[in-house]
Amino acid sequence: MKRKLNLNKVKVSRQVQIAPGVFVLSFPRPWDFTAGQVLGIGAHATDEARLYSIASGELDDEVDILYNINPDGKLTPWLARVVTGDNIWVSEPFGSFTGTGEPAWWIASGTGIAPFSAMFRTGLTAGKKLIHGGRDLNSFYFSQTFSATLNDNYIRCCSRESGEGIYDGRITRYLSELPQVPHNEKYYLCGSAEMVVEVRDILITKGVPFDNIISEIYF
Amino acid sequence: MSDIKEPLFGKTLSELTEIAGLLGLPKYTGGQLAYWLYKTDVDSFEGMTNVSKKTRAQLAEKYEIGVHPPVNVSESADGTKKYLFRAGSGKFIEAAYIPDGKRHTLCVSSQVGCKMGCLFCMTGKQGFQGHLSSGEILNQLRSIPERKEMTNVVYMGMGEPFDNLDAVMKSLEILTAEYGFAISVRKTTVSTIGIVPAMRVFLEKSKCNLAVSLHTPFDEERRRLMPIQNVYPLKDVIDTICEFDIGKYRRVSFEYIMFKGVNDSRRHVNELARVLNKVKSRINLIRFHPIPGTPLLGSDEAAIADFQQALNDKGIVTTLRASRGQDIDAACGLLSTKELVKAQSVD
């Protein structure tokens, strides 16, 4: 059967578990891409590929994929067992949820941080505010890197645990409590459908034109 | 040890035959089961009178029928009915039955909630709670009193069918097969926002009609309305459809909800004519039914009529879908069980 996503074999150079059930898998970068794009991954050339955002920068030597294990999923339980030297199958990158140099708010939940990590590592940090929501204190992947550059423009919202310098509550509550938000900046949202639709509604309620809200959903 | 039994309803003829084989039963038992499951109202093994008592006991030990009645029904002044079904613990789905003269249409759900996050859709606002099995999809037809009158089935209820491709394809086989519900492929339509790889599988393996949610021909506008545009742009959707010989009887349509001041201009007419130029298709205009918190408004009737006329003048067959069941929130884009999901989580 002809497939839309042609998958090519790549050799895994590294796999690191960065939090319980959450991994960064790396392989040498075989193509150019634009930060924010996705690629398809399969265990075999003929697999139905699952889509993941690239988490590494455009000029990095390796492509990093951030993912968490979905116990009911077909791919991630297998992917988590992959070690250095194993082969996986990936498509070329595609998608238009891509970053720009303009001021913007990046809003993510969970592994939805990946495209913003790519934009960050590509250097698109000027005028950016990054808001990341997670359930526990382990959920703030790459936080040291973000903190060091974005300082006060990096906000973590934790729904189930408390931590120093971390907003105690869901990302939606954090946004709702803001007295105002800029109306003429772009808002990039990435994460679960629940987060995306709730945050979008909040921003619209606060007067942000829907033209300024760009969403990426995980499916 | 789990007491949960596997449902037989929703299995294809070949799966039923395989089960018969595994139980050491004659192969024709698969056909008998398909008959009882899909051609009759029998809802227990005891009622399968041409299956031996011993075989019925064997089946009942491992399997259940898997047919469940709706838990609620609302009826619109226009005759449309909205059925509520339980779909697992704390999860609910809706199906809309729409009678229209000799035409009886059932709009079925394929998921509990939806992941796609379209700006204009009420189902999207409840997020995603799970996939439906083929049996749960078909149960929406099997378990309602109007089942035998049904002429058309559309996969336009809750969820994105192509995000649940395996179950949807299996349900389509059973729905349209002679051994199953024998609904004509020409009367069966699957609606998608355009998940290209899954749509390709559907176009290759099924002969059912395809409806694509289009809503604007402009990329930037579409990605504001429908996040899927970031991953599978409309151009890829149209190019993929063009790879297939749609034939004389299969229908491809593009769904177009009319939003005031957003997608109802002459510029949109011209661009639609351009992008759909190479596709044998039609456009189905839909009035927007406002949902809470949306910044979108529906186009007025005059604008809709003008838009329809302008498209027809361009040679694009354009129809306007009648709004049905709006008073019971059964109309297009309004199906949602969000309040029930909330109530369950509070409990």
Q: Report the pLDDT value the prediction gives residue B339, as an integer from 0 to 100.
A: 63
Query: What pLDDT digit, counting tens, does each position of B84-101 carry?
Result: 999 988 899 999 999 999
Q: Report the pLDDT value the prediction gives residue B337, as an integer from 0 to 100.
A: 67
Does residue A78 sit in the same domain as residue A113?
no
Task: Specify the 3-state DSSP secondary structure of B194.
Answer: coil
Contacts of B294 in chain A (CB under 8 A): 204
Task: Specify the 3-state DSSP secondary structure of A196.
Answer: helix
Query: What pLDDT digit, counting tens, does each position of A6-44 carry?
Result: 899 999 999 999 999 999 999 999 999 999 999 999 999
Separation CA B166–CA B153 (nearest Å): 18
Element (H, E) at B256: strand B252-258
Q: For residue A211, what is the DSSP state?
A: G
Answer whether residue A151 is part of any domain: yes
Higher pLDDT, B88 or B214: B214
Does residue A82 sit in the same domain as residue A151?
no
Q: Report the pLDDT value the prediction gives residue B341, as an integer from 0 to 100.
A: 63
Answer whether residue A211 is part of any domain: yes
Does A52 contact chain B (CB < 8 Å)? no
Q: Report the pLDDT value the prediction gives residue B345, as an integer from 0 to 100.
A: 46
Hey, what amino acid is at B165?
L
* A14-19/B72-75 β-pairing: unpaired
Q: Which of A32, A60, A90 is the last residue of a domain?
A: A90
Question: For a pLDDT cut of 70, what percent of chain B falls above it?
Answer: 95
Does residue A131 sit in the same domain as residue A60?
no
Query: What pLDDT digit, counting tens, does each position of B9-65 carry?
Result: 999 999 999 999 999 999 899 999 999 999 999 999 999 999 999 999 999 999 999
Answer whether residue A95 is part of any domain: no
Higher pLDDT, A21 or A4: A21
Query: What pLDDT digit, counting tens, does each position of A144-168 carry?
Result: 999 999 999 999 999 999 999 999 9
- Asked if the model's pLDDT at residue B343 lies above 70, the reply is no
| ipTM of the complex model | 0.89
Answer whether residue A2 is part of any domain: no
- The domain total for chain A is 2
Please classify residue A173 by burial: count the beta carbons closer than 10 Å to its beta carbon, then call 0-12 exposed, 13-18 middle and 19+ buried: middle
| Structural domains present in chain B | 6-64 (1.10.150.530), 72-346 (3.20.20.70)
Contacts of A97 in chain B (CB under 8 A): 230-231
Answer whether residue A143 is part of any domain: yes
Average pLDDT, integer, range A87-97: 96
Answer whether residue A195 is part of any domain: yes
Does residue A185 sit in the same domain as residue A81?
no
Hey, what amino acid is at A14?
R
B117, B197, B204: residue with CB nearest A217: B117
- Asked if the model's pLDDT at residue B347 lies above 60, the reply is no
Answer whether residue A35 is part of any domain: yes
Does residue A30 sit in the same domain as residue A72?
yes
Does residue A40 sit in the same domain as residue A119?
no
CB contact (8 A) between residue A97 and residue B231: yes
- Asked if the model's pLDDT at residue B255 lies above 50, the reply is yes
Any idea which residue has 């491809």 for tokens?
Answer: B252
Does residue A155 sit in the same domain as residue A83?
no
Least confident of A108-117, B122-131, B206-215, B217-226: B122-131
Does residue A181 sit in the same domain as residue A211?
yes
Query: What pLDDT digit, counting tens, does each position of B110-124 carry?
Result: 999 999 999 999 888
Average pLDDT, integer, range A67-72: 92
Does residue A157 sit in the same domain as residue A128?
yes
Contacts of B223 in chain A (CB under 8 A): 96, 214
B196: which 2 tokens? 């290209």
Answer whether residue A122 is part of any domain: yes
Does residue A81 sit in the same domain as residue A161?
no
Does residue A110 sit in the same domain as residue A85?
no
Q: Which of A63, A90, A117 is the last residue of a domain?
A: A90
**Which pairs with CB-CB distance under 8 Å and at least 24 residues apart come from A153-161?**
A153/A128, A153/A129, A154/A129, A154/A130, A155/A129, A155/A130, A155/A131, A156/A132, A157/A131, A157/A132, A157/A133, A158/A133, A158/A134, A159/A133, A159/A134, A159/A135, A160/A135, A160/A136, A161/A135, A161/A136, A161/A137
Query: Residue A25 is part of a domain; what is its CATH number?
Result: 2.40.30.10
Q: Give the max Cα distance, chain B.
A: 69
Hey, what amino acid is at B255?
E
CB contact (8 A) between residue A4 and residue B200: yes
Least confident of A68-77, A135-144, A198-207, B299-308: A68-77
Does residue A61 sit in the same domain as residue A151?
no
Query: Residue A143 is part of a domain; what is its CATH number?
Result: 3.40.50.80
Best of B126, B215, B231 to substitute, by most chain A Cβ atoms within 10 angstroms, is B231
- Asked if the model's pLDDT at residue B269 lies above 70, the reply is yes
Q: Which of A64, A90, A116 is the last residue of a domain?
A: A90
Question: What is the extent of the structural domain holding A125?
Answer: 104-217
- Asked if the model's pLDDT at residue A1 lies above 70, the reply is no
pTM for this structure?
0.92
Q: Report the pLDDT value the prediction gives residue A48, as an integer from 0 to 100.
A: 82
Across chain B, mean pLDDT equals: 92
